[in-house]
């Protein structure tokens, strides 16, 4: 090819406007109000789901600790109580709350909630305080603390019976309430009788 043609081809190529690079994307468009609303709703839904899972898990952990405490206190009362009715009530508490705990562990396993293997530090302190008492003082302290524990558990389970999002957990809480309320009533009666004894 003659040299003049090379110069002519080079001159023509340099005179052509450069095409935009294929890698350059057009500037992003502003999100439409519908897209913004959908993104905001999705974020709110994700936050709600997280809050609901946190509630369910929190209930399961708190209920588990309360169940473990009530069962452990019942076992203690079966050994240390002076009044036969308090010993018997301790055995009943141990059996009933152990059964409740077993049901809760099954639900937690299916729902992938991690339950603690032991009661909370506060519940452990309650157990230790009751264990330190002797004779009639033990009966009164056991029944007083058990009465307070039942009030706490009843409120906890009543809330979960309407607020839990896991249907099995919600049904479990609702089903447990009548027995917990009956236990609370019996415990209060036993406490009044123990308190009247000198």
Which CATH number goes with the domain that contains 66?
1.20.1260.10
- The residue that leads in pLDDT, 37 or 108, is 108
Domain membership of residue 14 (yes or no) is no
pTM of the complete model: 0.71
For residue 16, give both structure tokens.
């052509």
Q: Which residues span the domain enclosing 98?
A: 59-196
pLDDT of residue 48: 47
Does the residue 90 lie in any domain?
Answer: yes
The answer to the question of residue 23 being in a domain is no
Q: What is the structure's pLDDT at 8?
A: 47
Domain total in the chain: 1
pLDDT tens for residues 7-45? Answer: 445 555 555 555 554 456 555 556 566 555 555 555 555
- Give percent of the chain with pLDDT exceeding 90: 45
Give a three-class secondary structure readout of the chain: CCHHHHHHHHHHHHHCCCCCCCCCCCCCCCCCHHHHHHHHHHHHHHHHHHHHHHHHHHHHHHHHHHHHHHHHHHHHHHHHCCCHHHHHHHHHHHHHHHHHHHHHHHHHHHHCCCCCCCCCHHHHHHHHHHHCCCHHHHHHHHHHHHHHHHHHHHHHHHHHHHHCCCHHHHHHHHHHHHHHHHHHHHHHHHHHHHHHCC
Is 185 domain-assigned?
Answer: yes
**Average pLDDT of the residues in 113-125:** 85
Average pLDDT in the 132-147 region?
Answer: 87
Q: Evaluate whether residue 86 is within a structural domain.
A: yes
């Amino acid at each position: 090819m003659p040299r003049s043609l090379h110069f002519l081809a080079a001159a023509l190529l340099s005179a052509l406007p450069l095409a935009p690079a294929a890698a350059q994307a057009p500037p992003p468009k502003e999100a439409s109000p519908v897209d913004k609303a959908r993104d905001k709703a999705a974020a709110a839904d994700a936050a709600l789901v997280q809050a609901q899972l946190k509630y369910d898990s929190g209930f399961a952990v708190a209920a588990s600790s309360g169940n473990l405490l009530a069962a452990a206190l019942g076992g203690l009362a079966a050994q240390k109580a002076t009044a036969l009715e308090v010993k018997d009530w301790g055995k009943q508490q141990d059996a009933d709350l152990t059964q409740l705990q077993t049901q809760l562990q099954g639900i937690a396993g299916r729902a992938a909630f991690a339950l603690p293997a032991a009661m909370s530090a506060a519940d452990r302190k309650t157990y230790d305080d009751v264990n330190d008492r002797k004779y009639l003082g033990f009966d009164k302290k056991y029944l007083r603390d058990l009465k307070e524990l039942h009030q706490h558990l009843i409120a906890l389970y009543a809330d979960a019976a309407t607020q839990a999002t896991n249907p099995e957990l919600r049904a479990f809480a609702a089903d447990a309430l009548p027995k917990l309320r009956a236990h609370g009533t019996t415990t209060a009666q036993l406490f009044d009788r123990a308190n009247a004894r000198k």
